[in-house]
Amino acid sequence: MSWHLEPLVGFDLETTGTEPLEERIVSAAIVAVRGTDVVRQRNWLADPGIRIPAQASAIHGISTERAAAEGRPAAAVADEIAGTLTGYWRQGVPVVAYNAAFDLTLLAAELQRHQLPSLSDRLGGAMIGPVIDPYTIDRSVDRYRKGKRTLEAVCVEYGVVLEAAHDAGADALAAVRVALAIAERHPQVARLEPARLHERQIQWHAQWAADFQQFLRKNGTADAVIDGAWPLRELAPARG
């Protein structure tokens, strides 16, 4: 049976900014979906331990003051998120994350920052996955479509209702629904086993990164470096 007819788990983070190796978790959601039904959802609000920039608060609506008053310690939140995700992977359930390389890299950096076991360590040293990233898949199967590739834009393209953009729960659920819509529109994606789809996304992302880097350098950005790693970027060495 195709992966899109089996249980899936959506995952999303809202954060302090856009650099996954440096930013912190503010809120998170993991949504278990079977068919069109949400069967379980977990939400987290974290105190990131640093000030949330106004630009970030304007996007997800969470202020520094609210996070400090209502959020749980960042280390506890990161630990629970990692434990929940790896629990699903051990069951063979794919995790769906829109722009997975951002969310998973940021989570991995938080685990390292708080000296917690990595995602791989929690899986007995195995590689993480399977991961399904609608952003990476859509960019490959509909390469020449014009327009933005934000979650909101891709939801419109595939007829998915996004209830509240930049709410972690809403974005996680929308990511799953976009993945399902992509599978319906592109049977060649639906036919791939989750592990094979994971492998193909590694290749697709690397090719996109190489092509984009070449484009930037041809257009005057000689020092452009686009990271080709997916679904995790390489972390900086741990301090201390």
Contacts of 14 (CB under 8 A, 6+ apart): 25, 26, 27, 28, 59, 60, 62, 166, 167, 168, 171
Residue type, 79: D
pLDDT band of residue 54 (cuts 50, 70, 90) is very high
**pLDDT value, residue 223:** 73
The DSSP letter of residue 192 is S
**pLDDT value, residue 226:** 85
Q: What is the dihedral of CA 130, 136, 138, 143, to 10 degrees?
A: -140
Q: What is the mean pLDDT of residues 16-38?
A: 95
**pLDDT value, residue 122:** 98
> How far apart, in whole angstroms, are the C-alpha atoms of residue 169 and residue 154?
17
Which residue do the tokens 């978790």 mark?
A: 25
Is the Cβ–Cβ distance between 24 and 16 less than 8 Å? Answer: yes
**Secondary structure of the chain: what % helix, strand, coil (to 5)?**
50, 15, 40
Range 3-218: architecture per CATH: 2-Layer Sandwich (3.30)
pLDDT in tens, 169-205: 999 999 999 999 999 999 999 999 999 999 999 999 9
Return the number of other C-beta atoms located less than 10 Å from residue 53's C-beta: 13
Q: Is the pLDDT of residue 28 over 60?
A: yes
Structure tokens at 57: 């608060």
**pLDDT value, residue 219:** 83
Q: What is the pTM of this model?
A: 0.95
**pLDDT value, residue 218:** 86
Strands (E), 93-160: 95-96, 131-132
pLDDT band of residue 40 (cuts 50, 70, 90) is very high
Is the Cβ–Cβ distance between 179 and 158 less than 8 Å? Answer: no
Q: Is the pLDDT of residue 139 over 70?
A: yes
Q: Is the pLDDT of residue 240 over 60?
A: no
Lowest mean pLDDT, pick from 26-40, 44-58, 226-240: 226-240
**pLDDT value, residue 1:** 62
**pLDDT value, residue 239:** 62
**pLDDT value, residue 225:** 80
Average pLDDT for the chain: 95
Which residue do the tokens 């979650």 mark?
A: 151
